[in-house]
Amino acid sequence: MIPKFRILLCVLVVCLVGLPGVARAGDTPDREMLKTIRPWLKRLVDTPAADGLIVLPHLAYGDLETANRLILKSGPYNKGVKGKEKWGYWNLFELLHVHMLYGDKISKPAAAHIRGAFVEALEPGRRISKASFSANGSCINHPLSCTALAMVGGEQFGLPAASAAAYRDLAKFAAVWAQMGAYREYNSPTYQAVDFVALATMRQFSRNREAAIQAGILEERLWIETGLRYHASTGTLGGPHARAYYWDTIGGASDMHYLLHRVCGPEIPLFLKVTDAHYRMDHRLSWAGRASVLTFSCPDYIRKRMLAPQSPQQLRVTSGAESQLTDLATYIGPNVSLGTCAERCAWRSQNRDFVAHWLSGKKLVSHDNIRSAFVGYHAGRGDVHKSGGDHFYHQDNGRAIALLAPRTNGKSMSLRRMNVMMFMTLQREFEEIRIGDKKIDSLPASGPSGDLIALRDGAVFVAIKPLPAEQWPVENAIGMKVSTKPSKLLAISLNNYQGRSRRFTADEIAATFHGFCIEIAEASDYSSFDEFCKQASGWRIKGATDKKGVCSVTWDGIAKPLSMQVDLPARKIVRRKIGGEVFSTAMLQAATARQDISGKIALNQASLTTAKGVPAYLYADVKERVFMGMNPSSIASRFALDTPLGALEIDKLTFGRAEITGGKPTRVNVKAVTLAGELSFASATGDAKITVNGRDVTADCTPSRQGPTHTLTYKFPSPKN
């Protein structure tokens, strides 16, 4: 019988062997969340970590004595070391939130300590003042944190130069993000939570109206992307992921998890009991405490979407740099997710490793319930095998082509094997493994080159078929081998070449490619595992490289054939097709959401019209009767949102959004930095409530009627000089 394995991790590697809306609690703290973490606080030593100050929960409990003592103990890193002292971002966020929410309750010495910390940290020349955004920069959380601390800290503690610089930095961040669907530090369970806290801090506490609205619009934009990637059955964010700690990508007690719990409530449970080296207790409690008292501007339509997801679904988003954008694809199924990044687009090659997590359980109660495959960079995990080449992917829902090209640095190499290896930590029982038509009862096991590998895992079926090894003589391509390793790994080796050691020229290696086609399917889509394997055995996969070094891979025998061409010398995707059609994507594209700069977006019986060049969003959910249009930029534009509930027109809108929601009355909610001219809302009933920047202006609207159409018109006040 086949050994019982539990699969936790699968990493794809090129081996060159031979050379070495607002949360439910509103603006009040989440009392249940605070109650949950209180017993854990008692386990901490009464000494704050270097950047792990925890004060907010104590104040929420009314324990002023402990809170004041901890504030006065806090200090910068490397205290007393000239030129190297620096305040940690999270200590500063904790102190700032204490000042904003409980400033009238703490002692005068504690309040003075907070003021002194910000006066010191916001001095010109310190690291907060040096942070900046770049269109080609991969790190977002550091400069965004600095922007929030400088903006609100500068306003609160009489440092106008710091806050003025922060206003400019926020506008620059918005302009950088406007060039792509997702910024380059995308979908990180580690750092996205940092971004949310920074944006929420500016939205909730900034005295500058324009900056607060900008931060709120950007926060909603980030929640849209997050909500469309949330995989409810496993409690995780579907991939791909930019840089993140390994443990954060497999769900549970990631920093992002606490924010999701705050927004969605007990449907997303807290995992304070999960322990490992990365999740220090003080780190987890500081995040849980921070999330419990801040208000996050997750729109209600996204919160509902996360709690009652529509699956299967697919999200596509662009990311990268100004000169080279790439495509991120996320497939969310009832029991599994699959995510890829088409090609290298950022620092540390965010798409370099293909990772699969397979854990057990029918209901999410801990880490042990994840079925997720994705592309991402993992920090803090020593046994994650790193590849030695460039990766290229082409995905359509639960199917993907993975192509890897080894790097040579322009040198020849002596090799005895070229292959792709998949390493799986033994963590979950396989119900069945097949190589070709052969059911595997024991390991190691081998199969001919090109044979299908199929895995059966209860609710999910997986099929993997290697790309053909046409570069080298067939007698040297020994096929596949599945074996166990001493380090408790299951290794699947897909060989292009294995034989006597020979020297390959740099050109030969540059023209080499490895890879496979993979399908991850719901078992419920097939009558049996036999039927799934039968359809997969009918795949027709071809791969070859022409004289110019362009590699072409085609995958036929599926409902929508896939093909991809990659210029191997240039390390760039030339063309991809789905179902015979050349593939292209909007900035963001999903069943209910779309973003592009065309000036006219149409989706699900709704449309949004703006000026060309505006990176406009349209969210349209006919079933839930909610429609939202957004202009997250400083480009002034006419704004027309046409929906089944009515048509909204605004003469001029910059950096804002409008939402039309069904009900009695129909609700029209507009928020923007700049609104000028007139607003009109035309509908069949005329029964509507109009809100502009938080103010109900329905009574100030002029009603009119033309035939069956009722119109409410509101004239925006002239700007004050």
Phi, psi of 649, deg, nearest 5: -130, 135
How many whole angstroms separate alpha carbon 183 and alpha carbon 177? 6
How many whole angstroms separate alpha carbon 119 and alpha carbon 535? 67
Q: Which residue has the higher pLDDT, 51 or 602?
A: 602
Which residues lie across from 639 on neighbouring strands?
Answer: 650
Tokens representing residue 624 in the block: 């839930």
Contact by Cβ (8 Å): 669, 676: no
Contact by Cβ (8 Å): 402, 481: no
The answer to whether residue 18 scores a pLDDT higher than 70 is no
Mean pLDDT across the chain: 82
What DSSP line would sit under 434-475, residue for residue? EETTEEP-SSSEEE-TT--EEEEETTEEEEEEEPP--SS-GG
Q: How confident is the model at residue 374 (pLDDT cuts 50, 70, 90)?
A: low
Contact by Cβ (8 Å): 261, 397: no
Share of the chain above pLDDT 70, in %: 77
Q: What is the pLDDT of residue 670?
A: 98
Q: What is the pLDDT of residue 604?
A: 97
- From 268, 272, 252, select the one nearest 260 (Cα to Cα): 268
Q: How confident is the model at residue 250 (pLDDT cuts 50, 70, 90)?
A: low
- From 462, 398, 392, select the one nearest 430 (Cα to Cα): 462
| Top-confidence range, 261-275, 289-303, 388-402, 665-679 | 665-679
> Helices 108-121 and 89-102 meet at what angle, rounded to 10?
140
Give the list of residues 6+ apart from residue 76 with CB closer than 8 angstroms, or none.
85, 86, 87, 88, 117, 120, 121
Residues belonging to the chain? 721
Contact by Cβ (8 Å): 397, 314: yes
What number is the average pLDDT over the span 234-243?
81
Q: What is the pLDDT of residue 357?
A: 58
The answer to whether residue 572 scores a pLDDT higher than 50 is yes
Tokens representing residue 232 in the block: 């409810």
- The count of other CB atoms within 10 Å of the CB of residue 112 is 12
The answer to whether residue 16 scores a pLDDT higher than 80 is no
Contact by Cβ (8 Å): 281, 186: no
- The least confident of 2-6, 170-174, 429-433, 601-605 is 2-6
Tokens representing residue 472 in the block: 């080298």
Q: How confident is the model at residue 290 (pLDDT cuts 50, 70, 90)?
A: confident
Model confidence pLDDT, tens digit, residues 109-140: 999 999 999 999 999 888 888 877 765 556 88
The answer to whether residue 542 scores a pLDDT higher than 50 is yes
Burial 656-670 (b: 16+ CB within 10 A, else e): bbbbbbbeeebbbbb
Q: What is the pLDDT of residue 695?
A: 96
HSE, side-chain direction, 13 A CA sphere, residue 155: 19
Q: How confident is the model at residue 426 (pLDDT cuts 50, 70, 90)?
A: very low
The answer to whether residue 383 scores a pLDDT higher than 50 is no
Q: Which residue has the higher pLDDT, 4 or 533?
A: 533
Angle at Cα 479 formed by Cα 478 and Cα 482, nearest 5°?
115
The answer to whether residue 71 scores a pLDDT higher than 80 is yes
Q: Which residue has the higher pLDDT, 604 or 483?
A: 604
What DSSP line would sit under 211-255, residue for residue? HHHHHHHHHHHHHHHHHHHEETTTTEE-S-EEEEEHHHHTSSS-H
Distances (CA, A) of 670 to 207, 620, 623, 643, 657: 20, 16, 22, 15, 6
Q: What is the pLDDT of residue 382?
A: 37
How many whole angstroms separate alpha carbon 678 and alpha carbon 683? 17
Q: Which residue has the higher pLDDT, 255 or 64?
A: 64
Contact by Cβ (8 Å): 444, 438: no
- From 365, 325, 362, select the one nearest 342 (Cα to Cα): 325
The answer to whether residue 700 scores a pLDDT higher than 80 is yes
- The count of other CB atoms within 10 Å of the CB of residue 104 is 7
- From 240, 393, 243, select the one nearest 317 (Cα to Cα): 240
What number is the average pLDDT over the span 702-720?
92
Please state whether the peptide bond connecting residue 719 to the residue before it is cis, i.e. omega within 30 degrees of 0: no
Please state whether the peptide bond connecting residue 312 to the residue before it is cis, i.e. omega within 30 degrees of 0: yes
Long-range pairs, 610-618, Cβ under 8 A, ≥24: 610/637, 610/638, 610/639, 610/640, 611/635, 611/636, 611/637, 611/638, 615/178, 615/179, 615/587, 617/221, 617/224, 617/588, 617/593, 617/657, 618/593, 618/594
Contact by Cβ (8 Å): 218, 211: no
Model confidence pLDDT, tens digit, residues 481-527: 665 554 445 566 676 666 677 777 877 777 778 888 999 999 999 99
- From 294, 288, 295, 296, select the one nearest 54 (Cα to Cα): 288
Tokens representing residue 643 in the block: 């929906």
SS percent in the chain: helix, strand, coil, step 5: 25, 35, 40
HSE, side-chain direction, 13 A CA sphere, residue 700: 12
- The least confident of 362-371, 591-600, 646-655 is 362-371
Query: 3-state secondary structure string, 76-139?
Result: CECCCCCCCCECCHHHHHHHHHHHHHHCCCCCHHHHHHHHHHHHHHCCCCCHHHHCCCCCCCCC
Distances (CA, A) of 93 to 53, 294, 679, 700: 9, 11, 39, 41
What number is the average pLDDT over the span 416-442?
69
Q: How confident is the model at residue 40 (pLDDT cuts 50, 70, 90)?
A: confident
Q: What is the pLDDT of residue 555?
A: 98
Q: Which residue has the higher pLDDT, 592 or 719?
A: 592
Phi, psi of 434, deg, nearest 5: -130, 145
How many whole angstroms separate alpha carbon 452 and alpha carbon 433? 10
Tokens representing residue 721 in the block: 């000089």
Judge if pTM exceeds 0.85.
Answer: yes
Q: How confident is the model at residue 395 (pLDDT cuts 50, 70, 90)?
A: very high
Please state whether the peptide bond connecting residue 665 to the residue before it is cis, i.e. omega within 30 degrees of 0: yes
Question: Is 68 strand, coil or helix?
Answer: helix
Distances (CA, A) of 514 to 356, 375, 398: 18, 16, 20
The answer to whether residue 379 scores a pLDDT higher than 50 is no
Q: What is the pLDDT of residue 468?
A: 80
- The count of other CB atoms within 10 Å of the CB of residue 413 is 18
- The least confident of 3-12, 54-63, 556-565 is 3-12
- The least confident of 142-151, 468-477, 640-649 is 468-477
What DSSP line would sit under 155-199, residue for residue? HHTT-HHHHHHHHHHHHHHHHHHTTSSS-SSTT-TTTHHHHHHHH
Contact by Cβ (8 Å): 251, 232: no
Q: Which residue has the higher pLDDT, 365 or 256?
A: 256
Give the list of residues 6+ apart from residue 353 with CB closer than 8 angstroms, or none.
11, 12, 13, 375, 376, 377, 378, 384, 385, 386, 387, 391
The answer to whether residue 5 scores a pLDDT higher than 80 is no
Number of H helices, E strands in the chain: 16, 38
Q: What is the pLDDT of residue 78?
A: 66
> Helices 141-156 and 192-205 meet at what angle, rounded to 10?
20
Contact by Cβ (8 Å): 629, 641: yes
What DSSP line would sit under 472-517, residue for residue? S-GGG---EEEEE-TTSEEEEEEEEEEEEEEEEPHHHHHT--EEEE
The answer to whether residue 668 scores a pLDDT higher than 90 is yes
Contact by Cβ (8 Å): 459, 442: no
- The count of other CB atoms within 10 Å of the CB of residue 490 is 23
Q: Which residue has the higher pLDDT, 13 or 209?
A: 209
- From 702, 639, 642, 701, select the one nearest 674 (Cα to Cα): 639
How many whole angstroms separate alpha carbon 429 and alpha carbon 360? 8
How many whole angstroms separate alpha carbon 399 and alpha carbon 411? 35
